[in-house]
Amino acid sequence: MSQQVIASTANKARKLSVQEIAEIEHEMTLYPDKRAVGLEALKIVQKHQGWVSDESLLGIAKYLDIPAADLEGVATFFNLVYRQKVGKNVILFCDSVSCWIMGCESIKGHIKEQLAIDYGETTQDGDFTLIPVPCLGDCDRAPVMMVGPDLHRNLTPEKIDSIIADYKNK
Amino acid sequence: MVANPLTKNIDMSRPPLDIAAYEANDGYQSVHAIAKGLSPEDVLELVKGSGLKGRGGAGFPTGLKWSFVPRGDNSPKQKYLVVNADEMEPGTFKDRLLMEGDPHLMLEGMIIAAYTIQASKAYIFLRGEYTVSDQALRKAIKEAYEKGYIGKNILGTGFDLDIIMHTSAGRYICGEETALLNALEGKRANPRAKPPFPQVSGLWGKPTIVNNVETICNLPGILTYGNDWYHGLTKGNDHGTKLFGVSGKVKTPGCWELPLGLPIRELLEGYAGGMQDGLELKGFLPGGGSTDFMLPEHLDITLDYDEIAKVGSRLATGTMIVLDDKTCPVGMVGNLMKFFAHESCGFCTPCRDGLPWVDQIFRDFENGEGSEKDLQILHDHVTYLGPGRTFCALAPGATAPLGSGLKYFKEDFEKHITQKRCSYKH
């Protein structure tokens, strides 16, 4: 890659906000080098922006002075770092073994019907994104799912309806 | 005497104990004992003598693991303790209970472990989805700093310790300890080659101990009440209590702290209430998704590491997943294969290419398109993804339910081929 292209890529970097920088700086006190803060920085930016755009990723790489390709390698490795726009509420749907035994397939079918989205898709109004997640570690109350930071247990179609309504009204 | 040292403070109907209430119930006594003159060597000998084995899945003796950390003036000055709180093994829900229910117990255990190996920094590697654990632990850490149990010169011992929360962002492979270290260093979480083992060269090349949450939570009891008490807890060959969980279609699924050595029957039929009405037990995975199936005929085997190993499976995390006679075993194994295929880190070829192949065959079986040749390919993968053939233990873990499923539920696989459909679907 020529120097020119590298320079133009760096130019696309978004300037991080004061708040983002403050939080990243705090994380930097907890680790012996900057690279270790990469994932934390991605999560901080995601918290503020909703997702991690190319411009944000380049901005973090520039701020931490680490290769953008390395950071992209990390960003695409972790399933909770969103490199595409997501809805206001991300549904992390557990379809691992205990939830499967307890009938999560039909629950997923109901969500699909109600929201008209499948895995990886966002509703037209931008309220919900549906993503599968590995075992959420609450198997005695399966089927379970998370909406944003909240865990919802012992799911039934009726419960799904009220959960959707609750978050829509938030 | 205390019979349930891991859960004695846990009552999920209220918030976890704050530090004052925790202290009032023998909490942080072990740190005071250290301050009164227990040396790191003393603690190491105590933990070795306790017989505690790692509760994360592998069951390796904890004291022995710690003893590999270099000691003395010529050893690297910086050492690290890392708590593996990345609970993601399918069907496993025990560490969540400990962290949400009694965060100070884990912190006290961390202080003991860090003091023994003389680590001045300890990271909690917590899975990002455990938001309630995150809040509970951060609150507890703050309280423990204020009381001087962590920070500089703890209780006048001259020992310093900082405890740092690291919340991760997914991926099952981060539970593998060397992958976890790479993730903490801000790299892709591919496992590392061993040796060198983390005890010698781990986080940023420094000596590092990685212990599971439940392992760490065993330590305060051992120091506070002693090894005679600890040895008296068990009903079998292995020492201490353990969290046991049951999920699937039983009457009362849940998680309980029980002595090691109870018959499996007591867990499944007693605590979990037996199968739901109208269902029969067909089999179960005794310790999470990467253990071999066991059958109803194994119910009188005791919950001991060695006893379960004798029938070809592993106690591992101690959280059982129950298969009933109305749920398709082929579908259940297929669900696990989808999980492992998805969670492969992609570093080594047998795992990256083998598991998706296996997953695809299970999808074919589901659609009534499985053949005898496919069955042979599945058997081949049990061999080619087995221990010693891959870079880490992920794919060998996947072969546990695969190999045992093929063996015990052969008729069900055959039926999918001859009937060209899944007969469990009506």
CATH superfamily of the B19-233 domain: NADH-ubiquinone oxidoreductase 51kDa subunit (3.40.50.11540)
CATH number of the structural domain B329-419: 1.20.1440.230
Chain A residues within an 8 Å CB radius of B128: 43, 80
Each residue of B311-339: b (16+ CB within 10 Å) or e?
A: eebbbbbbbbbbbbeebbbbbbbbbbbbb
B95-141 tens-digit pLDDT: 999 999 999 999 999 999 999 999 999 999 999 999 999 999 999 99
Chain A residues within an 8 Å CB radius of B184: 36
Helices A54-64/A3-11 angle, 10° precision: 110
Domain residue extents for chain A: 3-77, 89-169
B367-404 tens-digit pLDDT: 999 999 999 999 999 999 999 999 999 999 999 999 99
Q: Is the Cβ of A98 closer than 8 Å to some Cβ of chain B?
A: yes
Per-residue pLDDT averaged across B403-410, rounded? 98
A149 to chain B, closest Cα gap in Å? 6
* pLDDT value, residue B395: 97
Tell me if the pTM is above 0.90: yes
Query: Residue B294 above 70 pLDDT?
Result: yes
Task: List the pLDDT tens digit at each of the 170 positions of chain A.
Answer: 455 655 666 679 999 999 999 999 999 999 999 999 999 999 999 999 999 999 999 999 999 999 999 999 999 999 999 999 999 999 999 999 999 999 999 999 999 999 999 999 999 999 999 999 999 999 999 999 999 999 999 999 999 999 999 999 87
CB contact under 8 A, A139 and B332: no
CB contact under 8 A, B289 and A139: no
Query: Residue B323 above 60 pLDDT?
Result: yes
CB contact under 8 A, B88 and A137: yes
Gap between the Cα atoms of B190 and A139, Å rounded = 27
**Residues A38-41: contacts with CB under 8 Å, at least 24 apart:** A38/A64, A38/A66, A38/A70, A38/A71, A38/A74, A38/B186, A39/A74, A39/A78, A39/A81, A39/B168, A39/B169, A39/B183, A39/B186, A40/B166
pLDDT-derived band at B362, boundaries 50, 70, 90: very high
Per-residue pLDDT averaged across B312-329, rounded? 96
CATH number of the structural domain B241-324: 3.10.20.600
Q: Is the Cβ of A73 closer than 8 Å to some Cβ of chain B?
A: yes
A4 to chain B, closest Cα gap in Å? 27
Radius of gyration of chain A (CA): 19
Q: Could you check whether B19-233 and B241-324 share the same CATH topology?
A: no
B261-287 tens-digit pLDDT: 999 999 999 999 999 999 999 999 999
Chain A residues within an 8 Å CB radius of B95: 137
Gap between the Cα atoms of A154 and A164, Å rounded = 15
Instruction: Please give the torsion angle defined by the CA atoms of residues A119, A121, A123 and A124, in that order, rounded to the nearest 10 degrees.
Output: -150
* pLDDT value, residue A3: 59
* pLDDT value, residue A4: 60
Domain residue extents for chain B: 19-233, 241-324, 329-419
Calculate the average pLDDT of chain B: 96
A57-84 tens-digit pLDDT: 999 999 999 999 999 999 999 999 999 9
CB contact under 8 A, B187 and A35: yes
CATH superfamily of the A89-169 domain: Glutaredoxin (3.40.30.10)
Reported ipTM: 0.95
Token pair of B111, please?
A: 């202080």
